[in-house]
Amino acid sequence: MKKIILIVLFFAIIFNTFSQNCGIYYSATDYKNSNFSEQGSKIFVNLVFKPNYVKLKTNDNTIYFNKDSIWGVKIENSIFRFSNSVKYELVENEGLLIYKTFVQAKMRKDRIKYFFSQNPDSEILPLTVENIENSFSSNTKFIDLLHVSVINDENLYDFDKNCNNLRITNLYNLSNRQ
């Protein structure tokens, strides 16, 4: 009898953990507050027959959300933001937000493209030196660090193993230190 109770408790804890790690953010405010607008046990974002929708499964039913009507989703440890029905995976969220998405390339493997936004409310832009300069023109320290440290757009998303994040994130964080 004790074994049955332990097994039931084990699965209850596991199920509860999974359901707490999957959710939908209707808005940037929900994301900033780590507050799910909707929560479920599973989320599907790559639906073959409904590519512009996200499917949320709860214990009782299944709900579909248009990708353009929500800010994003959290699935386990990954956060995805949607803009124009495109799925962007959040890879950095210290200071500025860095996203990646996969772009299909003809006759080659998919390529990773990087994007950024100044904050969860702002527009997602391609991660280029020019876009960073335009978006952060008032942060002269950041722009100066950018010019000294970055040779081209690809250097923006070089990974710094010592700091465990992208070069652009390090530069941004350095520019905001007093």
Instruction: With respect to residue 79, please indicate whether it lies within any of the assigned structural domains.
Output: no
Residues 9 and 67 in one domain: yes
Question: Is 100 in the same domain as 147?
Answer: yes
pLDDT of residue 174: 87
Q: What is the DSSP string of 120-132?
A: TTSPPEE--HHHH
Out of 12, 39, 74, a domain closes at 74
The proportion of the chain whose per-residue pLDDT surpasses 90, expressed as a percent, equals 52
Residues 178 and 90 occupy one common structural domain: yes
**Lowest-pLDDT range, 18-22, 58-62, 109-113?**
18-22
Do 29 and 2 share a domain, yes or no?
yes
Is there a single domain that holds both residue 59 and residue 94?
no
Higher pLDDT, 85 or 81: 81
User: Is pLDDT larger for residue 155 or for residue 70?
Assistant: 70
54 burial class (0-12, 13-18, 19+ CB within 10 angstroms)? buried
Report yes or no on 57 lying in a domain: yes
Q: What is the pLDDT of residue 60?
A: 86
Whether this model's pTM surpasses 0.85 = no
- When mean pLDDT is compared across 51-55, 64-68, 82-86, 155-159, the lowest value belongs to 155-159
For residues 132 and 15, what is the distance between their CA atoms, to the nearest angstrom? 42
The number of domains in the chain is: 2
DSSP tag of 39:
E
Residue 67 is given by DSSP the state G
pLDDT tens column, 19-52? 457 999 999 999 999 999 999 889 999 889 999 9
Q: Is 76 left (phi over 0), alpha (psi -120 to 50) or beta?
A: left
Report if residue 17 sits inside a domain: yes
Residue 108 carries which side chain, given as an amino acid letter? R
pLDDT tier, 3 (very low <50, low <70, confident <90, very high otherwise): low
Residue-number span of the structural domain to which 102 is assigned: 85-178
Q: Are residues 91 and 159 in the same domain?
A: yes
- Which residues sit opposite 101 in a β-bridge? 113
- For the chain, the residue count is 178
Higher model confidence: residue 136 or residue 8? 136
- Do 125 and 100 belong to one domain? yes
Structure tokens at 49: 């027959």
Q: DSSP class of residue 95? A: S
Could you tell me if 96 and 169 lie in one domain?
Answer: yes
Domain-embedded: residue 80: no
What digits encode the pLDDT tens for the residues 126-173? 999 999 999 999 999 999 988 888 777 887 778 877 777 888 888 888
